[in-house]
Amino acid sequence: MNRRTLLRMSAAAALLPRISLPADSAQRADLPAEVAGVRLPQSDLALAAATFARQSCPDFLFNHCMRTFTFGVLLLQRRRLAFDADTAFVAAALHDLGLLPQFESAHGSFEIDGADAAEKFMLQRQRSAADADRVWHAVEMHDGKWALTARQGPEAMLVSLGAGTDVDGPDPEELEARQIAEVLAAFPRRQFKQRFTSLLIAHCERKPNSQHATWLEGVCRVHATGVEADSVEQRIAAANFPE
């Protein structure tokens, strides 16, 4: 059974505030039809996700999300894996929303906050509980352990592979120089290294204890004050048993 039952998902969708999207979302999204041989989805759902991401994210982060999708498609094609383009695109477009103050919760990790925001987007677009759940997992696990991400399916794999490639750098054995150049021309990096690092540090400064056992924990420990110590040994010793 999925993380949420169909009834709970439907009830949650009815109670959520609407995300306001402009009527001319196709024009506002301003997406190229194809990049490096990858067709970007042009459905109403995909264009709405692109518009929402562009309105919510600074330019360097929006372009990172678009490169995440494009690199991810290229890497799944090499692996001969089929995927649902609309679902994967929504997850890629919205996968870093949790780093932005307007989407963060008081204590949750950025992965969970982003996953919740992306799931809400899907439910408000009247998408199925299964598709919303697939997007949630793709966002939440995009920087997690690969074995777990891969078990979630190709959409989660796409976001993980694409985001990892854009952050850590492409593997020249998997992507051609021509493909990389075309992706960067379509979606320029705009000082991504410096600006993305600053975004991560700012998140850690606001929420120093939200990233225990996550990809971002090391950054928080280095750059944020007030990070609470947490270890297996401490949890064992603190267990509420008399021994």
Residues 130-141 have a mean pLDDT of 98
Whether the Cβ atoms of residue 103 and residue 34 lie closer than 8 Å to each other: no
pLDDT value, residue 219: 87
pLDDT value, residue 108: 92
pLDDT value, residue 22: 39
Residues 12 and 209: their CA atoms lie apart, in Å, by: 28
pLDDT value, residue 128: 97
236 pLDDT exceeds 90? no
**Look-up of token digits 């976001």:** 159
Per-residue model confidence as pLDDT tens digits over 191-233: 999 999 999 999 999 988 888 878 888 888 888 787 776 666 7
Residue 39's DSSP bridge partners are 34
**Band of pLDDT at residue 28, cut at 50, 70 and 90:** low
| DSSP helix/strand/coil, 110 | helix
Residues 74 and 80: their CA atoms lie apart, in Å, by: 10
Domain ranges, ordered by start, for the chain: 6-190
pLDDT value, residue 29: 61
Per-residue model confidence as pLDDT tens digits over 76-126: 999 999 999 999 999 999 999 999 999 999 999 999 999 999 999 999 999
CA–CA distances in Å: residue 218 to residues 109, 139, 171: 13, 20, 24
Report pTM: 0.84
Cα within 13 Å of Cα(196), Cβ side: 18
Per-residue model confidence as pLDDT tens digits over 120-133: 999 999 999 999 99
Instruction: Give the residue, 161 or 207, on which the prediction is more confident.
Output: 161
